[in-house]
Amino acid sequence: MAADLDVVNLFVIAGATLAIPIVAFVASFLLWPSALIKVYHWYWRRTLGLQVRYADCGGYRFCYSCRGKPGMRPSILLLHSFSAHKDTWLTVVKYLPKHLHILCVDMPGHEGTTRTTTDDYSIQGQVRRIRQFVEAIRLNRKPFHLVGTSMGGSVAGVYAACYPSDICSMTLICPDGIKHLSETKFDNHLQDLQYNQYTLNIPLIPTTPEEMEDMLKLCSHVRFKIPQQILQGLVDVRLPHNEFYEEVFMELISERSRYALQEHLHLISAPLQIIWGKKDQVVDVSGAAVIEKHIPGCRVDLLENCGHSVVMERPRQTAKLILEFIISKQNTTKKSS
């Protein structure tokens, strides 16, 4: 009888032990989906071998994740888009070789990087901050490969124009800051905002799960089935920062930032790769032709059935294209020398 009770107790204890994490997961999913999202990012950083670090620059702190050490291939610095964060790149990093030196930095004011009310969040202002970061970690001891998407693409392009000796090559993914030839769905939203003196909600700054779903549909051609609780979690993560995002957004569409990349194209000397989704509804794919006209010889990779969120929709292909470009440019350099 005593033995039977011990067996029963063992099953009860084992069942309770298994139930606790399951209950915790379900509770997190239902009650704190934003916490679950943070755990998800932490898990993938750990799985991919990325370490979170900080770089201090005279009272200003940058947060970034990195993997590997400088080696034969150039280091790769990745700049994310508006209202995103360094973990945006996790899906791409997953498909890049582990021996590469990779750095994903939170853009000025975003996520773990210092946010101040007096900072300049124009494209030029962000370029100056990123240069501070590069110098603080001495990344430019050797020319590196710079990658930027959307807002980060505009910052990357202007950076290459202003600090050409830092860059050995560059990849711009659906970069903002170009006078594209055709209007997009987002351009129509922007016109409505201007007409209503910016009293309407900005499509890229959602405040409800429904608006988050609309934003994802705007940015992505691929339709992801995302549970309502996760949509709520994505909103909850962003809500405390929406006032800041509005400030940055207004700066990005201002006269001095809106076409900053195009105004600097003639100064870009580094080998350039353009990756663009053919179904981009935010920044029209015709921008690739505009860049190619100003920089003949640049490599252009247009992706079928892909929207603005190339990093999310085509991570494996994006990583493959970037790596191919870096290797091809290194081989060209070796032959010429």
State the Cα–Cα distance between residues 268 and 294, nearest whole angstrom: 10
Across-strand partners of 301? 275
- Is 81 noted as a catalytic residue in this protein? no
Q: Which residue has the tokens 């298994």?
A: 18
The single residue of 280, 284, 301, 309 carrying the catalytic annotation is 280
The single residue of 85, 101, 180, 308 carrying the catalytic annotation is 308
- Is 308 noted as a catalytic residue in this protein? yes
208 touches 235 (CB < 8 A) = yes
- Is 280 noted as a catalytic residue in this protein? yes
User: Cβ neighbours of residue 194 under 8 Å, at least 6 residues apart?
Assistant: none
Q: Which two tokens stand for residue 102?
A: 């990779």
The single residue of 75, 81, 83, 150 carrying the catalytic annotation is 150
Q: Any idea which residues carry the catalytic annotation?
A: 150, 280, 308
